[in-house]
Structure 1
């Protein structure tokens, strides 16, 4: 089995575990965009420490696991910084429009059999596929 598939499986398992722990620990859905959004717009200041610890874990865990790896997984990410910045802004905008992100709708929503989560997931997967075809295969940008 290729290592890319194994890394995807491990990452998906960790996201699912994180979502389950977050839900069991405080009774709320683990949506990364909502956690960040609550800090940015001020609506989540009552539990800002919890939100910051979550974000710290998202950043720190890969750094802590790095010494255990013989080589870093290849992300196949473009070296064009503007493509990365614009993509990040578009993803952030999309998650606000959809009232959730892949962790909220895809992982936590589908696992709770939420129709809204299922519909949102279908549409963002479809949008991602169309974007990839356009930007990589037709326009050669990524």
Structure 2
């Protein structure tokens, strides 16, 4: 059964390991430490005592920004991404009217997840994401969800 809790400093090594496997531009322990220390909404999803997904939301001025959402590579395809996203939306809706995010143009899987959750594309940031050697920078799709109408 999936459960949620606040991220702690003790989780940092495991979170960094999950990130290293997840993609080409992973967050490191410092990113998570800074988020926890800044009072961001930092949530982990656990199944049988093991972290399977995580997300970080920055809250400011009645707005929320989803900074990162990651599902452990071995746990992908089991619905954990949808589950933690829904939890983050619920938690954010108690403190903000709108939840924003940016997603890589090439990350169709994440883009579709956000669309199904009710997010709408509101713009693009040209060449926002850095690229690996020999590749050009990638656009970010900016998305938003009106939290005042979520239940």
TM-score bin, normalised by smaller chain = under 0.3
Normalized per residue, the structure richer in strand is 2
Q: TM-score, normalised by structure 2?
A: 0.25
The structure that has the greater radius of gyration is 1
Q: Taking CA–CA contacts closer than 8 Å with sequence separation of 6 or more, which of the two structures ends up with the larger relative contact order?
A: 1
Q: TM-score, normalised by structure 1?
A: 0.26
